[in-house]
């Protein structure tokens, strides 16, 4: 049974604190194993990738077949149903349109001292996408990772996807073709991250690696950070729904299960001000589970990590939402717009009764790569700026240096850095 809390209970605060601290992952320490994989790829390059692909994916490759060729990409594209390709194209169009609105402008101005200041934005030169393969293949995630890189102006976008038993998912290939990615390699795991970070004889290194993966991929991203940039270390998916009794319980139940079906350690939480409505949603979840293909996964998630929080008033919800800092937040209330304006911590907010979280996973436009595990308190979802760098611009002439230089000299001498002071003062005379 999911956890059920009532704000009127004497121990509510302690129980809510325990909910905040609930640990949903217990991955073993993979650091040594991953470090060995990375070291092997750095030392032996393609040879290490070939051996690991045979060992982990049960598939024989060589230096020539590490790369997925254009014929394979086109063949995968052609096997997809027309309606699926149409949906992928529409998603690509909408996601692109949204991300194009994130492109920043350069800045240049002259201040009162006559100093020219500003900054310019430039894209990273090469980005690597890690895309899960096999059964857990999500073409929507490829769109969400590739499109902001393309919009940012990344010149080279490469992709690694595992192909267990040699199986290429045609939907992933179709999404890659729609995004204009033609540099793809059939490798996965920590070895793929290492190859993109350090390069091999066949794969050129990139400057930033993004995309979801298993525990080995997450550990590898941690270890290569600094050599390359990374997006984030994503945890299990989560959804928080704030709903009043005016909703159809079956709708809210489906929304909660939409994330629970991802992973047994995903988390779905309902906040409401009506205990009878909470019970109705719980009953609707039981009904939906009987018809879900991934009922085992969803039921384990709901049983072990689900929660229902009953409040006296939904005005009390804002503080709880900010504390939970959910990846996905649905506001299915009469005053959803007003409540959204007052919430500080959430990866994405879905406003109103007709905005299920799943619409954001596929077609709405904003990115679905979002901060998990309460990291929405300090981070944002993936976007165009994640593939860009800001460079400051400073330009003095003799007159403007004369105006601000003496203070720089004073501060440098106060810090005991005489060469700093000299490099300015020598120009003042």
Catalytic positions: 327-328
Token pair, residue 304, equals: 């072990």
Distance CA 264, CA 298 (A): 6
Q: Are 331 and 351 in contact (CB under 8 A)?
A: yes
Q: Are 5 and 12 in contact (CB under 8 A)?
A: yes
Instruction: Tell me how long the chain is.
Output: 429
- What burial class does residue 115 get, using C-beta atoms within 10 Å of its C-beta: 0-12 exposed, 13-18 middle, 19+ buried? middle
Q: Which residue has the tokens 């990273």?
A: 124
Distance CA 234, CA 237 (A): 8
By C-alpha distance, which of 150, 141, 148 is closest to 385? 148
| Sheet-wide strand order for 116-123 | 107-110, 116-123, 388-395
Token pair, residue 209, equals: 């690696």
- Please calculate the CA angle 353-355-357 and round it to the nearest 5 degrees: 120
């Amino acid at each position: 049974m999911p956890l059920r809390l009532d704000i009127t209970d004497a121990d509510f605060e302690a129980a809510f604190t325990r909910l905040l601290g609930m640990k949903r992952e217990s991955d073993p320490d993979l650091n040594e194993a991953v470090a060995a994989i990375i070291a092997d790829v750095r030392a032996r390059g393609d040879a290490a990738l070939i051996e690991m692909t045979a060992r982990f994916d049960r598939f024989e490759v060589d230096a020539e077949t590490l790369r997925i060729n254009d014929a394979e990409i086109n063949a995968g594209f052609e096997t997809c149903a027309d309606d699926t390709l149409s949906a992928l194209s529409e998603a690509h169009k909408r996601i692109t349109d949204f991300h194009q609105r994130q492109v920043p402008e350069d800045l240049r101005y002259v201040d009162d001292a006559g100093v020219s200041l500003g900054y310019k934005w430039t894209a990273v030169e090469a980005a690597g996408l890690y895309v899960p393969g096999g059964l857990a293949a999500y073409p929507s995630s490829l769109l969400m990772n590739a499109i902001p890189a393309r919009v940012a102006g990344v010149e080279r976008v490469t992709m690694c996807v595992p192909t267990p038993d040699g199986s290429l998912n045609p939907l992933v290939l179709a999404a890659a073709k729609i995004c204009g990615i033609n540099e793809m390699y059939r490798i996965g795991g920590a070895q793929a991250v290492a190859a993109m970070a350090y390069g091999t004889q066949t794969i050129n290194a990139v400057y930033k690696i993004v995309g979801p993966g298993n525990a080995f991929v997450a550990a590898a991203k941690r270890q290569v950070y600094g050599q390359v940039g990374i997006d984030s270390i994503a945890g299990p998916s989560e959804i928080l729904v704030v709903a009043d009794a005016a909703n159809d319980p079956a709708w809210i139940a489906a929304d909660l299960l939409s994330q629970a079906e991802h992973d047994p350690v995903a988390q779905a939480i309902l906040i409401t001000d009506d205990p009878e409505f909470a019970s109705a949603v719980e009953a609707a979840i039981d009904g939906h589970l009987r018809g879900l293909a991934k009922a085992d996964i969803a039921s384990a998630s709901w049983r072990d990590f689900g929660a229902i929080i009953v409040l006296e008033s939904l005005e009390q919800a804002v503080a709880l939402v900010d504390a939970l800092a959910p990846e996905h937040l649905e506001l299915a209330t009469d005053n959803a717009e007003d409540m959204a304006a007052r919430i500080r911590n959430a990866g994405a907010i879905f406003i109103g009764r007709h905005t299920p979280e799943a619409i954001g996973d596929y077609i709405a436009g904003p990115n679905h790569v979002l901060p998990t595990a309460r990291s929405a308190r300090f981070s944002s979802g993936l976007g165009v700026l994640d593939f860009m760098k800001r460079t400051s611009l400073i330009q003095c002439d003799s007159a403007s240096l004369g105006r601000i230089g003496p203070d720089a000299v004073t501060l440098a001498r106060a810090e005991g850095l005489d060469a700093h002071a000299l490099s300015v003062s020598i120009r003042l005379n």
